[in-house]
Amino acid sequence: MKRIKDTIKKVLLLGSGGLRIGQAGEFDYSGSQAIKALKQEGIRVVLVNPNIATVQTDQGAADTLYLEPLNLATVTKIIAKEKPDGILLAFGGQTALNLGLALEAKGVLKKYGVLVLGTPVASIRLTEDRELFKRALESINIKTPFSFAVTTTEEAMRSAKKIGYPVMLRAGYSLGGLGSGKISSEQELKTRAAEALHNAPQILIEEYLAGWKEIEYEVIRDKSDTTLAICNMENMDPMGIHTGESIVVAPSQTLTNKEFHQLREVSLAVARRIGLLGEGNVQFALNPKNGDYRVIEMNARLSRSSALASKATGYPLAYVAAKLAIGKRLAEIPNSITKKTTSCFEPALDYIVVKFPRWDLIKFQAASRVIGSEMKSVGEVMAIGRSFPEALQKAVRMLNIGGSGLTDYPHTIADAPDEIGRATDRRLFAIYQELRSGTSVATIADWSQINPWFLEQLASVASFEKKLRRSKLTTELLRSAKHYGFSDKAIGQLRRRSEESIRQARLTAGVIPAIKQIDTLAGEFPAETNYLYTTYHASEHDIAPSQSKPLIILGSGPYCIGSSVEFDWCAVNTARTARALGRQVVMINSNPETVSTDYDESDRLYFEELTLERVRDIADFEGADGIVVSVGGQIANNLALPLARLGYALLGTAAESIDQAEDREKFSSLLNKLNIDQPDWEKVSTAPKAESFARRVGYPILVRPSYVLSGAAMQTIHSPEKLAEYLRSEGIISQEHPVVISQFITNAKELEIDAVAAHGQVIIEAISEHIENAGVHSGDATIVLPPQRLYLETIRRAKQITRQVAAALKISGPFNIQFIAKNNDLKVIECNLRASRSFPFVSKVTGYNFIDLATRVILGEPLPQRTFETLELDYVAVKTPQFSYSRIKGADPVARVEMASTGEVAVIGKNYLEAFYKSWQATEQFVIGKRLLVSICNTHKPRLLESLRMLAELGWELYATDGTHEFLTNNGISARFAKKASEGEPNLLDLIQNRQVDLVINIPNGSARHGLSGSDGYQQRRATIDHQVPLITNLQLAELFLRCLIAFHNTTLPARPWHSYITHLN
Amino acid sequence: MTMQASSLLLKNKTVFPGWSPAWQKNKVFSGEVVFNTGMTGYVESLTDPSYTNQILVFTYPLIGNYGVPGPRRWESKKIHVSGVVVGSAVETWNHYEGRGSLTSWLQSQQVPLITGVDTRALTRILRGHGTMPGAIVSHAKGAPRLPIFNDEIGTDLMKAVSIKRPRIYGSGPKKIIVVDCGMKENIIRSLLRFPVTIKRVPYDYDYTRESFDGLFVSNGPGDPADCRATIEILQKALSLKNPRPIFGICLGSQLLAIAAGAKTYKLPFGHRGHNQPCLELNTGRGVVTSQNHGYAVDEASIPVGWQVTYRNLNDGSVEGLAHATQPFFSVQFHPEAAPGPTDTKDLFEKFFALL
């Protein structure tokens, strides 16, 4: 038999597109590993992924890269052009899987002779269709929940009656459980089933298993039927809470040997029955009262859980899965940690792993904090320790939500029992608060359904906290505090002492964390790889300090809104350049969805907290040469000043300069000194001062707290009444917490410069322009490079300011400056002396790796003596934000000053319109027909008039609400009248629900308060999102988008590889 | 449970400080220190007679999470290890089958415990130096007393753990002789899934003149070369005119090999865990096995007519043997699992099919 390996020379790999809730950075990890695995075998890789911020889309990763939309039409074109021998569907999440199924169903793969590598399509379909899956499992006597697959609301109601309420509603073919939930009544089912059936052809009504333990097994299988369970995981939050929303431990903690191995055996049987070839996971519900089980589902692809399992065990699942897909056997693939044994084994852990989801619900006004069977978290952290409290408290610190452990969660939860019972994003803290005040484990177990084992562990922390407050702080007590995972800061707070004095006492007493290796075999074989964590439950280090003084790179920490895969890209590229220059690299990061936590990306990987305490522990142990704080985003950046003050050497720009840019007052006086304009602003600590400032500069104004990332709690305020309300309701103004108020300039443009400087001299810069007017957060803005509509004078002036600032702050390394431009008036909004979120974008669009240059600068390496052309490009690139509004029920889907997007995509095109249109499509929105619903606030109506007229002429069917309808009719454009929700039924909500429109343009008045759940506009926008109809809410985007619809009427856009644009690299 | 400071002392003079239950007073408990990398299954391991005279180190740091079930779930009637070493002994257990905590169970059987040990550091020493004698010593009265370490494992281990007189299980048509060298109960449970009558006999019982359809040789403690009585009887069984199917597990596999003419040797630190990968040589399929052994069959000494059927993927050692023409086969690992994976439980079916 001919081996697959010999016939497959070129493979098409589908990525996962923009990061969104339910599909995030984990697929950069899995795709990157797949590329490595295939290239080692001499196979050429063609990658399609518009996510420009990923490591997998780097030059030198795939042989051919397409930054193109992941849709059927585009990928079909790419297949026709590239003629790959095989395709991988399992490495790009649900996006890649669904696209692969579509390509197969349409006969594209057959037509071009493309072989699906890994798990066959028939098997995938078996796992994706719940009824087929259930029947397949029944055929081998494996239990699944009592359930019915239905396609109509009526069927759903009948089935629920048979099972009895409450029932579980599940939607098929969707990522992250969208549309799923507990249904308690007939009435509720009617609404929810209808909604879910809009998004999926089929839904499932099933037995309600809330309170059962939720367990997951990661399974891998090769062509010779060797089937392994690499890792099992237990959700602390039982069934009823989505696994992406649960605190998860690995390995399982409360399962007996019998249960552990029974479920393992079932998961292997499922993998065999389905015909898995590669990686997948099987989810179980396990009855805590009698050990009965149900198989909930199987994913026949890499997933968030498999990324977590890889990091938790050290077993590189994605890498191995790629090798299996091309026909390798497990026993032929070396174990990359021991280098002595093979990949045919199941890891044994000698530590405990805790995954904690990172939510950002506060960023979405009007969004509910209740968590359940739909995923809302935007990221996660993974903590490793040798006891549950140690790992859990580490995880809490890693989240970067203000607490340095369980004891100092910064908010008091008013109704803790309620938040425990309903489950909110801060349930753990509510539980701890209750335990501390004496509520019993049994009571909390009753409220939460959480297994008492976990609660007892938490109770032990609470009772130790009491002891720690009262008893004498002996060495023994200090050591115990560390065993329980208390930070120096938390101990200090409980003892009314400073963090530093606790640290010094601890070091004097010799209480230091031990550094342990993750070796996949619990010490049975020596590890060759330095994948490390720290623990206090130990008596010795596994390793000695690095031989030559390493540099330490601080990674991004958890993904959240405003800090995402782009900072992982920066950290990975810094490490790669530094290692290429012969430096020893230590990486610290806490985020399992990253490439920087692949242990082959650094010389030593510490899967650890990015806290002052832990960074110091590691730096002290390693005798670090310097710390890089400028490539991990804001968490790393915030450590700059504290580290520098304690005498740790930072590489790159000095900490004082970073502070000068971060501290609003210092930065402002610097700008004044340099004669650079800025919007008027003032830091005020009383309401009257705020009001007098607003009177002086005029409304609207922008209000925000200092030192924030992505404008948390930032708002524009349009009237004195609203200002008074804001200051009252937020309760944030005080002497300790002053509010920064600034002038808000309307009808202005925003632009930004990403640059690298050496000793104050700019060596490369790129100017990007925001398509939306000022008022949309830079992370939510659509960005074009090179700029398309800026005056030369503006560009010249922006460059000049950049040079001035770089020189004044003596910048050495990456930085970013944001500007606001009105006419030729240029004001600086902010300046960050670190890599910004657009670094991968400008690097890949210009073809010059800004991080590579920045790394050379901070390491003092010689720089290329040349200039870099980043403005006069023969092409245009547009970066578009990826939103996850459909996940956040209730959130108003309008981009404002507060960042809400969860990811981004970028596409390069021959011209502005082409790049913009494809970039928009790359966010996986599809306009499938020619029916448009428009609703535009008065001031903006004329701007869209001509485009709407042309669309009507091109055969578009227009629907419009009252004012817009009147306006169009008066201008001779025929449009159908659509009632607003408040105007009676049937109305536009019916149009949207029944998908009688293919696109909705709803431009709210800039001054309307968002999240006002009663308003017609809000209801319309929300319904559009909930029924997955494309929505545009910004005037500039709408103008451009309508131009695209006209320009590309009856035109298909070509797909071109990245390297065809970036000719200077060829 | 009230704890007191204690130490684990190794023969190479390494000392691991920890905590032991107060009931241990200042007694000294010694044994051969071995480690197991399984993440569950402490109840099964502690009641496995193969661990007789050994101090068992669990590399997984949290032991006791699900408590201890009633004796029906044990692998024998009592705890066989001479001591238990853990990172942390969890007393706040939770499980519907649990009847008590690990610590109280150990106390009720007077089996010593030491917690708070860096079991990873300890494992690395055992991996490097090989398993070695050690002792758990409590510091109830001042400085620990230094024990006298004895390298002799003891030769009468099997006698201590084997059944005293034959016992019959089941009433099926096929009769199996089961030689109990210190057998785990799950082997009996696994065999009883088939229509068989089992006669479980002591390690030195001569069954060769009785009528039976198949012979099974169990796991057990100690050095296989010391088990002369069992080996001699096995040699007779192998040379019967009308040889009956023979199936051996773990020590049983080593005894069968010795009876056939092969030799065994001591592994540096043994195989103890639930993740031992083996290659099934006739299919090329990998299986994950549960193991607990300190000795292995020397491949070079395997006599003509026998072949290796399974091989350990980590160190290449012999994991399974079969005779080319006769119905004799054995495996070094534990197809009955308990604790560990169940990948190879079909071997019991294979044995039954031969009867």
Indicate the DSSP class of residue B243: P
CB spacing of A350 vs B61 below 8 angstroms: yes
Of 3.30.70.260, 3.50.30.20, 3.40.50.300, 3.30.70.890, the CATH number of B3-138 is: 3.50.30.20
Q: What percent of chain A has pLDDT over 70?
A: 97
Tokens 């062509």: give the residue. A223
- The band of A980, judged by pLDDT with boundaries at 50, 70 and 90, is very high
Q: Is B246 left (phi over 0), alpha (psi -120 to 50) or beta?
A: beta
* Residue A604 domain flag: yes
- For residues A90 and B309, give the distance between their C-alpha atoms in angstroms, rounded to a whole number: 35
Please determine, for residue A369, whether its predicted confidence score (pLDDT) is greater than 60: yes
Distance from CA of A546 to the nearest CA of B (A): 20
Mean per-residue pLDDT, A15-39: 96
* pLDDT number for residue A481: 98
A288–B contact, CB cutoff 8 A: yes
Task: Tell me, yes or no, whether A357 and A503 share the same domain.
Answer: yes
Please report, for the domain that includes residue A47, its CATH number. 3.40.50.20
Q: Cα dist. A780→A740, A903, B336 in Å?
A: 21, 9, 58
For A:381-440, CB contacts with B below 8 A are 386-388
- For residues B9 and B352, give the distance between their C-alpha atoms in angstroms, rounded to a whole number: 46
* pLDDT number for residue A716: 87
Task: Tell me, yes or no, whether A620 and A693 share the same domain.
Answer: no
CB spacing of B37 vs A538 below 8 angstroms: no
Please determine, for residue A1005, whether its predicted confidence score (pLDDT) is greater than 60: yes
What does the angle CA A874 – CA A876 – CA A877 come to, to the nearest 5 degrees?
140
Q: Cα dist. A33→A56, A318, A343, B236 in Å?
A: 9, 6, 15, 57
Q: Read off the pLDDT of residues A436-494 as tens digits, 9 standing for 90 and up.
A: 999 999 999 999 999 999 999 999 999 999 999 999 999 999 999 999 999 999 999 99
Nearest to A1010 by CA among A890, A874, A850: A890
Q: What percent of chain A has pLDDT over 90?
A: 82
- For residues A30 and A595, give the distance between their C-alpha atoms in angstroms, rounded to a whole number: 9
* pLDDT number for residue A1013: 59
B88–A contact, CB cutoff 8 A: yes
CB spacing of B313 vs A346 below 8 angstroms: no
Mean per-residue pLDDT, A918-929: 95
Among partner residues B44, B61, B284, which is closest to A537 by beta-carbon distance? B61
- For residues B288 and B265, give the distance between their C-alpha atoms in angstroms, rounded to a whole number: 23
Helices (H), A334-451: 388-398, 416-422, 427-436, 441-448
The secondary structure element, H or E, covering residue B287 is strand B285-297
Indicate the DSSP class of residue A335: P
- For residues B268 and B248, give the distance between their C-alpha atoms in angstroms, rounded to a whole number: 23
Task: Report chain A residues whose CB lies below 8 A from the CB of B38.
Answer: 257, 348
Residue B334 among the catalytic residues: yes
* Residue A1062 domain flag: no
Contact predicate A8/A871, CB 8 Å? no
- The band of A179, judged by pLDDT with boundaries at 50, 70 and 90, is confident
B286–A contact, CB cutoff 8 A: yes
Cα A660 to its chain centre, rounded Å, is 30
* Residue A156 domain flag: yes
Please determine, for residue A737, whether its predicted confidence score (pLDDT) is greater than 70: yes
Task: Report chain B residues whose CB lies below 8 A from the CB of A459.
Answer: 92
* pLDDT number for residue A527: 85
- The band of A714, judged by pLDDT with boundaries at 50, 70 and 90, is confident
* pLDDT number for residue A713: 63
- The band of A177, judged by pLDDT with boundaries at 50, 70 and 90, is low
The tokens for A710 are 């992505």
* pLDDT number for residue A708: 43
- The one-letter code for the residue type at A8 is I
β-strands A701-705, A739-743 pairing: antiparallel
Please determine, for residue A735, whether its predicted confidence score (pLDDT) is greater than 80: no
Tokens 């359809």: give the residue. B213
Burial (Cβ within 10 Å: 0-12, 13-18, ≥19) of residue A136: buried
Please report, for the domain that includes residue A162, its CATH number. 3.30.1490.20
Residue A742 phi/psi, 5-degree rounding, is -135, 160
**Sheet of A749-758: strands edge to edge?**
A825-832, A813-822, A749-758, A761-773, A783-785, A876-882, A903-909
Among partner residues A254, A261, A460, which is closest to B94 by beta-carbon distance? A254
Task: Report chain A residues whose CB lies below 8 A from the CB of B37.
Answer: 348, 350, 521-524
Mean per-residue pLDDT, A917-927: 95
Mean confidence (pLDDT) of chain A: 93
- The band of A664, judged by pLDDT with boundaries at 50, 70 and 90, is confident
Please report, for the domain that includes residue A232, its CATH number. 3.30.470.20
* pLDDT number for residue A240: 87
Please determine, for residue A638, whether its predicted confidence score (pLDDT) is greater than 80: yes
- A621-625, A892-896, B22-26, B139-143: range with lowest mean pLDDT: B139-143
A291–B contact, CB cutoff 8 A: yes
- For residues A33 and A317, give the distance between their C-alpha atoms in angstroms, rounded to a whole number: 9
Burial (Cβ within 10 Å: 0-12, 13-18, ≥19) of residue A478: buried
Please determine, for residue B125, whether its predicted confidence score (pLDDT) is greater than 90: yes
Nearest to A215 by CA among A240, A236, A234, A231: A234
- The band of B75, judged by pLDDT with boundaries at 50, 70 and 90, is very high
- Structural domain ending residue among the three candidates A688, A709, A743: A743
Among partner residues B65, B123, B277, which is closest to A345 by beta-carbon distance? B277
* Residue A137 domain flag: no
Indicate the DSSP class of residue B336: T
B288–A contact, CB cutoff 8 A: yes
Mean per-residue pLDDT, B307-320: 97
Task: Tell me, yes or no, whether A494 and A588 share the same domain.
Answer: no
* Residue A519 domain flag: no
Distance from CA of A333 to the nearest CA of B (A): 12
Please determine, for residue B142, whether its predicted confidence score (pLDDT) is greater than 70: no
Nearest to B208 by CA among B228, B225, B191, B233: B233
Give the contacts of A439 (CB within 8 A, at least 6 positions apart). Answer: none
Indicate the DSSP class of residue A609: -
Please determine, for residue A3, whether its predicted confidence score (pLDDT) is greater than 90: no
Please determine, for residue A377, whether its predicted confidence score (pLDDT) is greater than 50: yes
Task: Tell me, yes or no, whether A770 and A733 share the same domain.
Answer: no
Residue A415 CB: number of other CB atoms within 10 A?
10
Count the alpha carbons within 13 Å of A567 in the hemisphere toward its beta carbon: 30
* pLDDT number for residue A712: 45
Report the Cα–Cα distance between both ends of chain B, in Å, rounded.
51
* pLDDT number for residue A365: 65
Mean per-residue pLDDT, A181-206: 87
Which domain range does residue A828 map to? 750-871
Per 3-state DSSP, chain B is made up of helix, strand and coil in percentages (nearest 5) of 25, 35, 45
Task: Tell me, yes or no, whether A176 and A293 share the same domain.
Answer: no
Task: Tell me, yes or no, whether A368 and A442 share the same domain.
Answer: yes
Helices (H), A275-352: 304-313, 317-325
For B:319-338, CB contacts with A below 8 A are 337-338
Task: Report chain B residues whose CB lies below 8 A from the CB of A255.
Answer: 40, 66
Tokens 């629907």: give the residue. A959
Count the alpha carbons within 13 Å of A192 in the hemisphere toward its beta carbon: 24
A34–B contact, CB cutoff 8 A: no
Among partner residues A258, A348, A453, which is closest to B65 by beta-carbon distance? A453
Instruction: Tell me whether the omega of the peptide bond preceding residue A166 falls within 30 degrees of 0, making it cis.
Output: yes
* Residue A65 domain flag: yes
Distance from CA of A254 to the nearest CA of B (A): 6
- The one-letter code for the residue type at A342 is T
Q: Read off the pLDDT of residues A924-959 as tens digits, 9 standing for 90 and up.
A: 999 999 999 999 998 899 999 999 999 999 999 999
Instruction: Say if the ipTM goes beyond 0.90.
Output: yes
Mean per-residue pLDDT, A425-443: 97
Please report, for the domain that includes residue A1020, its CATH number. 3.40.50.1380
Among partner residues A268, A348, A451, which is closest to B59 by beta-carbon distance? A348
Please determine, for residue B146, whether its predicted confidence score (pLDDT) is greater than 80: no
For A:217-256, CB contacts with B below 8 A are 222, 224-226, 228, 251-256
- Residues forming beta bridges with residue A828, ordered by sequence position: A819
Pick the catalytic residue from B80, B250, B271, B278.
Answer: B250
- The band of B139, judged by pLDDT with boundaries at 50, 70 and 90, is confident
* Residue A531 domain flag: no
CB spacing of A344 vs B286 below 8 angstroms: yes
Distance from CA of A501 to the nearest CA of B (A): 27
Among partner residues B92, B94, B284, which is closest to A224 by beta-carbon distance? B284
Nearest to B101 by CA among B113, B92, B109, B110: B92
* Residue A1056 domain flag: no
Q: What percent of chain B has pLDDT over 70?
A: 96
Q: How many helices (H) and strands (E) does chain B have?
A: 8, 21
* pLDDT number for residue A730: 56
Q: Read off the pLDDT of residues A771-814 as tens digits, 9 standing for 90 and up.
A: 999 999 999 999 999 999 999 999 999 999 999 999 999 999 99
Cα A617 to its chain centre, rounded Å, is 28
β-strands B54-58, B28-36 pairing: parallel
Whole-number CA gyration radius for chain A:
28
Task: Tell me, yes or no, whether A370 and A486 share the same domain.
Answer: yes
Contact predicate A118/A96, CB 8 Å? no
Task: Tell me, yes or no, whether A940 and A1021 share the same domain.
Answer: yes
CB spacing of A345 vs B314 below 8 angstroms: yes
- Residues forming beta bridges with residue A628, ordered by sequence position: A553
What does the angle CA A193 – CA A199 – CA A205 come to, to the nearest 5 degrees?
35
**Sheet of A604-607: strands edge to edge?**
A514-517, A531-535, A604-607, A585-589, A551-554, A626-628
Residue B250 among the catalytic residues: yes
Total structural domains within chain A: 8
Helices (H), A847-961: 850-858, 912-921, 941-953
Nearest to A604 by CA among A582, A627, A575: A575
Please determine, for residue A705, whether its predicted confidence score (pLDDT) is greater than 70: no
- The band of A739, judged by pLDDT with boundaries at 50, 70 and 90, is confident
Give the contacts of A637 (CB within 8 A, at least 6 positions apart). Answer: A629, A630, A658, A662, A832, A833, A834
- A551-560, A871-880, A1007-1016: range with lowest mean pLDDT: A1007-1016
Task: Tell me, yes or no, whether A383 and A504 share the same domain.
Answer: yes
Please determine, for residue A725, whether its predicted confidence score (pLDDT) is greater than 90: no
Task: Tell me, yes or no, whether A501 and A556 share the same domain.
Answer: no
Size of interface A-B (CB pairs under 8 A): 173
Q: Read off the pLDDT of residues A1015-1055 as tens digits, 9 standing for 90 and up.
A: 889 999 999 998 899 999 999 999 999 999 999 998 889 99
Tokens 């494996």: give the residue. A142
User: For residue B120, what is the nearest residue in chain A, using CA coordinates?
Assistant: A523
Mean per-residue pLDDT, A320-329: 97
User: For residue A348, what is the nearest residue in chain B, using CA coordinates?
Assistant: B37
The secondary structure element, H or E, covering residue A101 is helix A93-105
* Angle in degrees, 0-180, between the axes of helices A655-662 and A664-674, rounded to the nearest 10: 90
Please determine, for residue A591, whether its predicted confidence score (pLDDT) is greater than 90: yes
Residue B44: strand, helix, or coil: helix
The tokens for B68 are 């201890």
Among partner residues A254, A257, A459, which is closest to B44 by beta-carbon distance? A257
Among partner residues A330, A347, A456, which is closest to B286 by beta-carbon distance? A330
Mean per-residue pLDDT, B110-126: 98
B97–A contact, CB cutoff 8 A: yes
* pLDDT number for residue A256: 98
Residue A459 phi/psi, 5-degree rounding, is -65, -35
Mean per-residue pLDDT, B247-266: 98
* pLDDT number for residue A734: 72
* pLDDT number for residue A175: 46
Contact predicate A228/A201, CB 8 Å? no
Whole-number CA gyration radius for chain B:
20
What does the angle CA A1031 – CA A1032 – CA A1034 come to, to the nearest 5 degrees?
155
Task: Tell me, yes or no, whether A954 and A934 share the same domain.
Answer: yes
A222, A226, A388: which to substitute to probe chain B, counting the most B Cβ within 10 Å? A226
Please report, for the domain that includes residue A368, its CATH number. 1.10.1030.10
Domains in chain B: boundaries: 3-138, 157-354
- The band of A707, judged by pLDDT with boundaries at 50, 70 and 90, is very low
- A374-388, A684-698, A727-741: range with lowest mean pLDDT: A727-741
Please determine, for residue A1012, whether its predicted confidence score (pLDDT) is greater than 60: no
Task: Tell me, yes or no, whether A723 and A776 share the same domain.
Answer: no
CB spacing of A260 vs B40 below 8 angstroms: yes
- The band of A1011, judged by pLDDT with boundaries at 50, 70 and 90, is very low
Q: Is A391 left (phi over 0), alpha (psi -120 to 50) or beta?
A: alpha
B8, B62, B96, B283: which to substitute to probe chain A, counting the most A Cβ within 10 Å? B62
Give the contacts of B304 (CB within 8 A, at least 6 positions apart). Answer: none
- The band of A6, judged by pLDDT with boundaries at 50, 70 and 90, is confident
- For residues A667 and A670, give the distance between their C-alpha atoms in angstroms, rounded to a whole number: 5
* pLDDT number for residue A410: 86
Q: Read off the pLDDT of residues A666-691 as tens digits, 9 standing for 90 and up.
A: 999 999 999 999 999 998 888 899 99
Q: Read off the pLDDT of residues B191-250 as tens digits, 9 standing for 90 and up.
A: 999 999 999 999 999 999 999 999 999 999 999 999 999 999 999 999 999 999 999 999
Count the alpha carbons within 13 Å of A842 in the hemisphere toward its beta carbon: 30
- A102-116, A512-526, A698-712, B332-346: range with lowest mean pLDDT: A698-712
Of 3.30.2310.20, 3.40.50.720, 3.30.70.3270, 3.40.50.880, the CATH number of B157-354 is: 3.40.50.880
Give chain B's length.
355
A579–B contact, CB cutoff 8 A: no
